[in-house]
Chains A and B, each alone.
Chain A
């Protein structure tokens, strides 16, 4: 028999499972940085332009991972 607080255990499991959406964000960030690296290596003069746009793209992909994190925090920390 499982002893202890099952509801708290379920919260921890749910919070962990909710973070699986960050896989997509990791792949997305990797692809956009790959594109930026290709561009920078072909044309080093465009470095600052490419860097700014890469940071913008990374922030968008990261936003999706942050949505998952918010759900995970809501599961953990909201009573």
Chain B
């Protein structure tokens, strides 16, 4: 393994010596791969094929492949499967335990949303670390581009500053989906909408009492009006949660992509590897934070997950209860 690493290091030093690396063009909006739009919607405008959309399809295929591997591992070997399926089974078990810790009795309702969102964002964050993403793409003529050196005429060219000709701009074929505000905004809207729906389903229309709090308005007028205004602020808070979800994920992954690309341009030989390690950890942390916040908001919408009844210790097999356990002591105290 270490010889592979050494070989790659020597290869990258040789490439960095002969091909001058140029600072790439980064833009916040995803780049369009086709010049013509795919179709036009009447109100929303035109829909183009962007590189993040292509990458999202790739992420979906990777997730389907992972699900197939888990299924195969479960069917052949059971819960202690080996290989990639086994790792994913272990990860899902760990996530279920974590959800139980936070959500208590609402675990069964919350876990599918948490696991899907976390796995999707995890794969979407990690897939942009693969070499080739953000660097291989179409070159188009543009006024503010950089010169290009042609390696294979018509097919392959390198963007370079020395000894090239013309003025071209690079549009990468693939770009990580989390660097697109459309993706993160969509996920944030899904998460917050499902929170409201789940809260309405469990608590009925009493859920709206959290926002329109008119219970105290006639008994104690001054405090009642303040409670009402605080309820309206909660409504604004829900919208701010959507915005915070969107920009937390977009900002960290986009900033990570910019840093990876820029350190690759400035320190060609080893600089980018350190940034890739940091991005790996950051992608995982951001996916977990998105999922954790979804659990917490859903649990708050449905009502408290932990209360004394659900946390009671199970009965011992021969029917006698443990004398020192709090539930038994409480029921003893009630009887006497």
Contact = CB atoms under 8 A, between A and B. Distances in A.
Whether chains A and B associate is: yes
Interface of A: 55-56, 59-60, 62-63, 66-67, 69-70, 73-74, 77-78
A56 B27 CA distance: 30
A29 to B, nearest CB: 13
Given A59-B286, A78-B28, A73 B255 contact: yes
Contacts of B250: 70
B252 interface: yes
13 contacts: A56-B292, A59-B285, A63-B244, A63-B247, A63-B248, A67-B247, A70-B247, A70-B251, A73-B28, A73-B255, A77-B26, A77-B28, A78-B29
Contacts, number: 39
Q: How large is the interface on B (under 10, 10 to 19, 20 to 34, 35 or more residues)?
A: 10 to 19
Contacts of B244: 63
Contact of B255 (A56, A60, A69, A78): A69
Given A56-B289, A67-B251, A70-B251, 19 more contacts: A55-B285, A55-B288, A56-B292, A59-B285, A59-B286, A63-B244, A66-B248, A66-B255, A67-B247, A69-B255, A70-B250, A70-B254, A73-B28, A73-B254, A73-B255, A73-B258, A77-B27, A77-B28, A78-B29
Contacts of A67: 247-248, 251
Contacts of B248: 59, 63, 66-67
A60 B248 CA distance: 9
Classify the interface of chain A: helix, strand, loop or mixed: helix
